[in-house]
Amino acid sequence: MSGTAGRVTVPERAEVVIIGAGIIGWSIAYYLSRAGVEVCLLERAEVGVGTSAIAAGLLAPLGPLNGPGPLASLLLAGCAELSKLVAELEASSGIEIEPGWPGALRLACEARAVARLRRRLERWQPLGLELHWLSGEEARRREPLLSADVLAAVYAPEEGQLRAGRLLKALADAARRAGARCYEHCEASGLRLQADRVLAVQTRGGGEIACGSLVIAAGAWSAQCCAWLGTAVPLRPVRGQLLSVRPPAGLPSLQHLIFGRAIYLVPRRDGSLTIGATREEAGFEVRVTEEGRAWLLAQARSLVPALAAASVEDSWAGLRPSTPDGLPLLGPLPGWRNVILATGHGSQGVMLSALTGQLISDLISTGERSPFLLTCSPGRFATFAP
Ligand X SMILES: Cc1cc2nc3c(=O)[nH]c(=O)nc-3n(C[C@H](O)[C@H](O)[C@H](O)COP(=O)(O)OP(=O)(O)OC[C@H]3O[C@@H](n4cnc5c(N)ncnc54)[C@H](O)[C@@H]3O)c2cc1C
Nearest to 85 by CA among 97, 67, 73: 97
Q: Partners of 40 in the beta sheet?
A: 17, 181
Q: How far is the CB of 62 from ligand X (least distance, A)?
A: 12
331 contributes a contact to ligand X by CB under 6 A = no
Query: What residues numbered 106-165 form the site for ligand X, per CB under 6 A?
Result: none
- Cα 300 to chain centroid distance, Å, stands at 23
Query: What residues numbered 189-248 form the site for ligand X, per CB under 6 A?
Result: 217-221, 225, 240, 242
Query: What residues numbered 265-304 form the site for ligand X, per CB under 6 A?
Result: 276-277
25 contributes a contact to ligand X by CB under 6 A = yes
Which CB, 141 or 279, lies closer to ligand X? Answer: 279
Handedness of CA 373, 378, 381, 385 (dihedral sign): negative
Q: How far is the CB of 149 from ligand X (least distance, A)?
A: 25
What is the SS3 assignment for 129?
coil
What are the counts of helices (DSSP H) followed by strands (DSSP E) for the chain?
10, 20
CA distance 159 to 140: 19
321 contributes a contact to ligand X by CB under 6 A = yes
Q: How far is the CB of 123 from ligand X (least distance, A)?
A: 21
Contact between 342 and 372 under an 8 Å Cβ cutoff? The reply is no
Query: What residues numbered 56-85 form the site for ligand X, per CB under 6 A?
Result: 56-58
- Spatial neighbors of 184 by CB under 8 A, at least 6 apart, are 8, 21, 43, 45, 46, 47
Which CB, 134 or 183, lies closer to ligand X? Answer: 183
Q: How far is the CB of 21 from ligand X (least distance, A)?
A: 6
Q: How far is the CB of 7 from ligand X (least distance, A)?
A: 15
Residue in 345, 358, 377, 378 binding ligand X, rule: CB under 6 A: 345
Whether the ω angle into residue 170 lies within 30 degrees of 0, i.e. cis, is no
Which CB, 26 or 384, lies closer to ligand X? Answer: 26
Q: What does the per-residue mask of binding to ligand X show for 168-187, with x meaning CB under 6 A?
A: -------------------x
CA distance 264 to 296: 9
- Spatial neighbors of 352 by CB under 8 A, at least 6 apart, are 74, 75, 78, 82, 328, 345
Kindly list the residues in this chain that would bind ligand X in the complex (CB under 6 A). Answer: 19-25, 42-45, 50-52, 55-58, 187-188, 217-221, 225, 240, 242, 276-277, 318, 320-321, 343, 345-351
